[in-house]
Amino acid sequence: MIHYWVKAIPGETSILDPLRHSVLAIKYLDGAPLLFQWPPEEGWTFEILDKIQPRGVEFGANAYINDVWIGTTEW
């Protein structure tokens, strides 16, 4: 499961703000592509991203938007 590290506390600036309309890339730890997802019309939110879970991937992947790391299967 991908754990997305983009949920902002009220009053904080979200790192998603400048990335909201960019492509999500999920890659294996060696950098090989696993999944690319265009953003929804309203842009990415934590709640929408959290639903993006590639099937069969329990560990060994990272998530990026515009090469900005936003999540991982690794704790």
Position 70 scores a pLDDT of 96
pLDDT of 9-57, one tens digit each?
Answer: 888 888 899 999 999 999 999 999 999 999 999 999 999 999 999 988 8
Q: What is the pTM of this model?
A: 0.89
Annotated domain spans of the chain: 3-72
Q: CA-to-CA distance for 9 and 1, rounded, in angstroms?
A: 22
